Chain A
Amino acid sequence: MTAVTALTLPADWRDFFALTKPRVMSLVIFTGLCGLLAAPGHIHPVIGFTAILCIALAAGGAGTLNQWLEADIDAGMKRTAKRPIPAGRMRPNDARDFGIALSVASVLIMGLGVGWTAAVILAISILYYAVVYTIWLKPRTPQNIVIGGAAGAFPPLIGWVAVTGDITLMPVLLFAIIFMWTPPHFWALALFIKSDYAKVGIPMMPVVRGQASTRKQILVYSVLLVPVAAAPWFIGGAGAIYGITALALSLIFLALSVPVAFRHSEEGDAMKPEKRLFAFSIIYLFALFAGLVLDRVAAYQGFIA
């Protein structure tokens, strides 16, 4: 009876906010802003703000649709069972409508206020996350994280295109960096929380292919990340400040993934190397993009070539 009563109450606005996955959104806003600040050319601050707002709204919309689609799965996992829909604090259809409204509004405002190239890529990123990833591939393949990583890689690309209006090699490289970064970042986490995903039948890599294979794949992506992260420097799209930052960060990332790759954990393992890699992976992304912006600002100000 309490559940029925709870459903007749209008949902609290805080629950709508929680649907947008604010913690994920902070990373999206940061990388989107870095793409925007690192791009060559000028953008009026109001238009730049609008672009970042639209990227954030789109991420919120996609996150909301993801939670609407996965409410039954979320209900079965300790980490996600308290989300608004599985906890019964919000009607699923309200979440669906909210998600669609955010998504449509973000694309329209981006198109009218900033540019249609950025708006089209924004629309693709929302559909990619909500449909290709959430509905289609996440429940079907252990490569789901690799595929989902592409969705998270869109923000700096969109931020860049909001300024330039066209897609060049540099924004594609920013996309590639996050794409390579996501699997080791997420699989390190999945190694120490894998039991939850197994329970709800999501084919996470450690469950399907085993931890030995997952550990090797973490290393593969960490190795690939070194040249990809340094590529903007090699092609001349960024200077030495970025290049040295990227190489140093990527080599630390690689050094932390080596112990993860060559060990085996039993029940009750403290999983220290995995947790260390996961924690550093977050610092890595923030520092790398901050380095890029610093490098570009220094270049535009004439401090470096």
Chain B
Amino acid sequence: MTPEEQTEIRKRQKSRNLALGGLLVFLAVLFYAITFVKMGD
């Protein structure tokens, strides 16, 4: 594996981790909001 490939793999892993992290934060906020709305019913 060349250093260029190593860098590219790290770059993609990082962007995927950021996307997944963002998704998890979004879902946590969404479930929090849903819970509050349901408690109001």
Contacts and interface: CB of A to CB of B under 8 A. Distances in A.
Note whether A and B form a binding pair.
Answer: yes
Nearest to A44: B37
A13 B12 CA distance: 8
Contacts, number: 31
A47 B19 contact: no
B34 A50 contact: yes
6 contacts: A46-B33, A46-B34, A46-B37, A50-B30, A112-B34, A113-B31
A46 B19 CA distance: 22
A10 interface: yes
Nearest to B41: A44
Contact of B34 (A10, A12, A13, A113): A113
A47 B37 CA distance: 8
Interface in A1-31: 5, 9-13
B15 A12 contact: yes
B15 to A, nearest CB: 6
A53 B19 CA distance: 17
Contacts of A47: 34, 37
Tell me the dominant secondary structure on chain B's binding face: helix
A13 B14 CA distance: 10
Contacts of A12: 12, 15-16
Contact of A10 (B13, B33, B36): B13
A73 to B, nearest CB: 27
A53 B33 CA distance: 14
Contacts of B25: none
Interface string B3-28: 00100110011011001000000000
Interface residues of A, number: 13
A81 B13 CA distance: 25
A42 B3 CA distance: 58
A interface: dominant SS: helix
Contacts of A44: 37
B30 to A, nearest CB: 7
B8 A9 contact: yes
Contacts of B15: 12-13
B3 to A, nearest CB: 14
A50 B15 CA distance: 26
Contacts of B16: 10, 12-13
A17 to B, nearest CB: 9
B5 A5 contact: yes
Nearest to A47: B37
B21 to A, nearest CB: 12
Given A10-B12, A47-B34, 16 more contacts: A10-B13, A11-B12, A12-B12, A12-B16, A13-B12, A13-B16, A46-B30, A46-B33, A46-B34, A46-B37, A47-B37, A50-B30, A53-B30, A112-B34, A113-B31, A113-B34
Given A46-B37, A47-B34, A113-B34, A13 B13 contact: no
B19 to A, nearest CB: 4
A111 to B, nearest CB: 12
B37 A13 contact: no
Contacts of B36: 46
A50 B38 CA distance: 13
